[in-house]
A and B are shown apart, each in its own frame.
Chain A
Amino acid sequence: MAITSTSSSAAFSKAAIAGVVGVLAVWSAVLPQSASPRFYPDDPLWTDNDRVADASKVVEVEDSNSYDFVVNTLGHPGELRDVRALNVNTVDEVPDSSWFTNRIGRNAMSTESVRRGPDRAERINVTGWKVSGGKSAGVQPGFRMTDAEGQIYQIEVDPPSNPEIASGAEIIGTAFYHAIGYNVVDVYPAEIDRDALVIADGATIRDPLNGRRRQMKKYDLDNVFNRAARLQNGHYRVLVSRFASGMPLGNFRYYGRRPDDPNDLVSHEHRRELRGARVFGAWLNHDDSRGINSLDMLERTNGRAWVKHYMFDFGSILGSGTVYAQRHRPGNEYMFEQKPGWLTMATLGLYVRPWITIDYPDVPKSVGRLEAARFDPVQWKPEYPNPAFANMRPDDAFWAARIVSKFSDAAIRAVVEKAAYTDPAATDFMTKTIIARRDKVVATWLNQVCPVVDTTLSADGTLAFTNAAVDAKAATAPERYELNWFRFDNATDQRTPVGEAMRVTAGSARVPNGLTGDFVGVNITAVHAQQPGWANPSTFFFRRASGGWSLVGVERGAQTSAPTSARR
């Protein structure tokens, strides 16, 4: 009897639990989910605090040239996905981080600031420094020196065939990439008296012919200066690069994450500043944009370790091939690209790749091989596929092109003059060519989406905006803008259209009647016969704030579904 009673009770309990769970399941399904809102109260964030977690366990990862080439050429590393960059803030900009610091793109920079770049000193004098070791990597001949305070510098020479070519490129590239926002080391031109050099006790070099580390000897310096352009006074012009502070961790990659860095949340191929580097690379012909030309350093702040990411080695940009004038292929075709290769093979060379016929202007040897007439920003390529570049979308390119547009002619000339070319014709040609390439880059990539920027919504309901392409003289004004307003539910991510499509010809409009709520948005396209890309909409979200509206969100182009982590 007792047994029967127990069985009945258990059966009842099971049935009750099953019933309750069923009801609760239905209930939970109809309840609003507690998902993350589209916009947090602190959006948009302009600083990504990627030093918050201690990264002291990070270990060095130094890729070899051959592995970087093989894996990127044949391996297709990383993810190729049409998804918005995962590290942008809600207004589609890159927040300051260990990777990038907004400079000319967000705040006006004086010509002098752009020219000066990261430099801590106006000029540098290596007299009294000691040679402290060999150079660790790269094709450019060089060595290391240490100043009286123990700061290490890398010294590199220019090739006899093209004096000033690599040092000039490095100085120009460093200044531009710094103003753009990347971390770079300061570099200086200097003059060295070979006979005055002293090798420090304990200086070592990794023998380039067998890889073994050994004591550095006088002939190691001879090997450097035998391949160096000499000045008329018998000295040598050299490039002096200051070593970054911290502990070297090798290079970063343009794909994946550093698994041992807790602050590295976003796959690198989906970082906006790495995708957009394709635009900067095209502009300045930085065909050497690859992982091995980057540097991670472990720094400490307030006792906590974090990784700082540097771009470096700009000696092969513009017309320089570092130890010779740049060849025809770099910038135009990958080192290994199947289709043109097979075509050339099959036709016994009768098929001529287009870049072979580029007629480079006759310019001073310090410039190398550079031109703007045949330059096509879209077709430009680095030495081999770059996963971040492959993921670049119109919104990434727009972000980068807008930064490029901020470099004035005067700023460009000032940067080129910093290279201190002996021949004024080199300075003139370089300046004109960089300006011409800038104009092409801007005209190409500011016009692939509706280039409406600087959008504001005043308390009285007046929308104002400007056109980045028109402002940059990359396009004429459109025939009209078309605006579609909507009410936005921040919790559910739902947009409810309000009013009819609005057409305006200037950069202002009134909010339609009936548009209420804490969040509103407007979708803007532009009609221009020569700019079909302007039909690719830009969308702006505003949040009601005390005394008016604040811009809280920007989307450019049609958005694909993105994972939660992308919704920033």
Chain B
Amino acid sequence: MPRVVVLCVIFLSFVSSPASAQEPQTREEADRRRREQQAQDPATYKPNGLERALDFAEDRAIFLLDREGVHPKLGSLTTGSGFAYGVGFRDRDLFSNKGAVEVWAAGSIKRYWATEARLTFPRLANNHLHLEAWGSHRDYPQENFFGLGPESNRDDRSDYAIRTDHFGGRAGVRPVDHLLVGAGMEYLEPRLGAGQNDRYPDVPVVFPPSEVPGIDSRSDFIRSAAFVEVDYREPINAKKGGWYRFDFSHYDDRTTDQFTFNRFDADIRQFFGFLAGRRVIALRLAASTSDTEAGQTMPFFFMPTLGGNETLRGFREYRFRAPHAILAQAEYRWEIWSGLDGALFYDAGKVADQRSDLNFKDLESDYGVGFRFNTNSGVMFRVDAAFGSKDGNHLYIVVGGVF
């Protein structure tokens, strides 16, 4: 019983007090108490996994496409190689930031693989001189071949392997902004072999050697080239401006003296932006032509080709091949979000056995729609679906842009 009384007294004295002695009497006191209370129970901030990962990636410039040091090498090795992945190393510090050395090696899901070493001095002589040297090995085991000329047949699909070593260099001069003029030389050792795709026959099985010049070649070549390039795109992933390039190459057969030829390539790209650059009309006209001296032949593997994700998207890779080719492409690109564009495209082109046939008659064509994940510096990744060709529909998922 006494315990009950004591409890009552304590309780009553507590609840009947007009203001408990514990209650702060001023705002400042109330706030001070809250802070002191919080100080007694300090917590340490712990970043979550996403935060740590993104912080690390940004800190180490992992997202940077031209990252210094060791970096992943992602993308295709050539048209039709499939997705390739590998590793590279880049160092700009080697020459006090005047030059850069880069080496990489990568293999693709279709067993293509390549390795390359490249030394570049892009801004010598107060940004007026560009020097470059390289060596590479490329092993493409299942390149498509459908025959030569515009009348090649889809059903004649065959394949071959080509392994090439390249060693070369070039110099370019920028006399004025936007203009680069240069020349270079390259040693090439292409070696052909049987195609590795078991679903298709080798080239010699479908085509006699007389219809495939160079199929038995073991020639080495020296390629001498001169070029002019005008680039006033804004930005590199252009919303306006233009990019024009003209290349003249002389391929000298150093082994058999059967396959010496000249090749001229012109590529003109123009971009018209409107609605604050959120809509772009992109146009491309490309042509390639070649000639040989008497008794010489142009090997098939150096001929221009059409078909695949960069040219006629409604056709297989290398669907058309001949000594001459012309290609016209148009795209309407519209920005959906920053970093994502939609595109409607139309491609038309043809290859020709004779230069006189290089015109806009009887073009193969296709159309389609695509999406591009991009930055101002270029397209990182795109999806293109092409329709309307005589070869059916094609879907491409590609690392990199088209033009």
Contact = CB atoms under 8 A, between A and B. Distances in A.
B27 A45 contact: yes
**Most chain B beta carbons < 10 A, residue from A17, A208, A210, A329:** A210
Interface string B306-334: 00000000000000000000000000101
B54 A341 contact: no
Nearest to A67: B54
B72 to A, nearest CB: 13
Interface string B20-37: 100111111011101110
B344 A348 contact: yes
A220 B68 CA distance: 14
A34 B19 contact: yes
B30 A40 contact: yes
Contacts of B275: 352, 356-357
A35 to B, nearest CB: 9
B32 A49 contact: yes
A52 B44 contact: no
Contacts of A329: 338
Interface of A is mostly: loop
Interface residues of A, number: 70
Contacts of B55: 62-64, 67
Interface stretch (B59-67, B148-156, B196-204, B261-269): B59-67
B4 A16 contact: yes
Contact of B43 (A223, A260, A352): A260
Given A43-B27, A328-B276, A210 B43 contact: no
A262 interface: yes
Contacts of B66: 209
Interface stretch (B8-16, B112-120, B165-173, B218-226): B8-16
B38 interface: yes
Interface stretch (A23-31, A230-238, A413-421): A23-31
A303 interface: no
Nearest to B26: A42
A465 interface: no
A217 B96 contact: yes
Contact of A209 (B31, B47, B61, B336): B61
A66 B54 contact: yes
Contact of A210 (B15, B68, B279): B68
A116 B31 CA distance: 34
A29 to B, nearest CB: 10
B61 A210 contact: yes
Contacts of A50: 35
B262 to A, nearest CB: 39
Interface in A48-78: 48-50, 52-54, 57, 59, 61-67, 70-71
A335 B375 CA distance: 13
B59 A64 contact: yes
Contacts of A209: 61, 64, 66-69, 90, 92
Given A36-B30, A70-B50, A223-B97, A262 B338 contact: no
A151 interface: no
A59 B45 contact: yes
Contact of A31 (B15, B96, B340): B15
Contact of A24 (B11, B38, B42, B64): B11
Contact of B58 (A65, A335, A352): A65
A451 B232 CA distance: 55
B176 interface: no
B8 A219 contact: no
A34 B39 contact: no
A61 B44 CA distance: 10
B4 A17 contact: yes
A402 to B, nearest CB: 23
B1 interface: yes
A208 B61 contact: yes
Interface in B111-160: none
Contact of B276 (A27, A40, A54, A356): A356
B18 interface: yes
Contacts of A20: 4, 7-8
Interface string A88-126: 000000000000000000000000000000000000000
Contact of B336 (A64, A341, A352): A341
Contact of A336 (B28, B35, B92, B338): B338
A339 B92 CA distance: 43
Contact of B12 (A12, A24, A57, A212): A24
Contacts of A45: 27-28
Contacts of A36: 23-24, 30
B105 to A, nearest CB: 19
Contact of A263 (B35, B47, B92): B35
A349 interface: yes
B1 A16 contact: yes
Interface string B274-302: 01101100000000000000000000000
Interface of A: 12-13, 16-17, 20, 24, 27-28, 31, 34, 36, 40-43, 45, 48-50, 52-54, 57, 59, 61-67, 70-71, 207-212, 214, 217-220, 222-223, 258-260, 262-263, 265, 327-329, 335-337, 341, 344-345, 348-349, 352-353, 356-358, 565, 568
Given A34-B18, A65-B58, 17 more contacts: A20-B8, A40-B26, A41-B26, A45-B28, A53-B36, A53-B38, A64-B55, A66-B58, A66-B63, A209-B61, A209-B66, A217-B96, A260-B43, A262-B35, A341-B337, A349-B335, A353-B278
22 contacts: A24-B8, A31-B15, A34-B23, A36-B30, A42-B28, A52-B32, A52-B35, A53-B36, A54-B39, A59-B44, A63-B55, A66-B57, A66-B63, A207-B68, A208-B61, A209-B67, A218-B96, A259-B42, A259-B44, A262-B39, A263-B35, A356-B278
- Those 4 A-B pairs whose CB atoms lie nearest each other, nearest first: A349-B334, A209-B68, A262-B39, A259-B43
